[in-house]
Amino acid sequence: MTRSWVVLRLMGLPFLGCTDEASDCFVGSRDEPAQVELVFRTETGQIAPAQEGQSVPLVEPPQGGQILAIGARARHLNACGVVLTGSMWDGATALSVERRPVKMVPNGNGWAEPAHPEELQNFANIAACPSAAAEKSIHGERYDVQVNVEDRTGRRAEARIGVIPTCSEPAKLDLCTCFCAPVTGRSCTLRSDGGTARGDGSQDAGETPQASP
- What are the structural domains of the chain? 8-169 (2.70.50), 183-213 (no CATH)
- The yes-or-no verdict on residue 46 having pLDDT over 80 is yes
The pLDDT value recorded for residue 182 is 87
- The yes-or-no verdict on residue 2 having pLDDT over 70 is no
pTM, two decimals, is 0.78
Helices (H), the chain: 173-179
Task: Give the separation between CA 66 and CA 171, rounded to whole angstroms.
Answer: 14
Question: Model confidence over 120-155: pLDDT tens digits?
Answer: 999 999 999 999 899 999 999 999 999 999 999 999
Dihedral sign for Cα 135, 141, 144, 146, please. positive
The pLDDT value recorded for residue 5 is 39
The pLDDT value recorded for residue 77 is 97
The pLDDT value recorded for residue 190 is 53
Write the secondary structure of 88-109 as one string of H (helix), E (strand) and C (coil).
EEECCEEEEEEEEEECEEECCC
The pLDDT value recorded for residue 24 is 76
Name which of 19, 1, 211, 2 is nearest 91 in CA terms.
2
- The yes-or-no verdict on residue 204 having pLDDT over 50 is no
- The yes-or-no verdict on residue 42 having pLDDT over 70 is yes
Point out which residues pair with 99 in neighbouring strands: 10, 85
CA 41 to chain CA centroid, nearest Å: 8
Which has more confidence, 122 or 13?
A: 122
Write the secondary structure of 24-45 as one string of H (helix), E (strand) and C (coil).
CCEECCCCCCCEEEEEEECCCC
Percentage of the chain surpassing pLDDT 90? 68
Work out the pLDDT band at 115, boundaries 50, 70, 90.
very high
- Mean of the per-residue pLDDT values of the chain: 82
Q: Is 126 helix (H, G, I), strand (E, B) or coil?
A: strand
For range 180-200, the mean pLDDT? 55
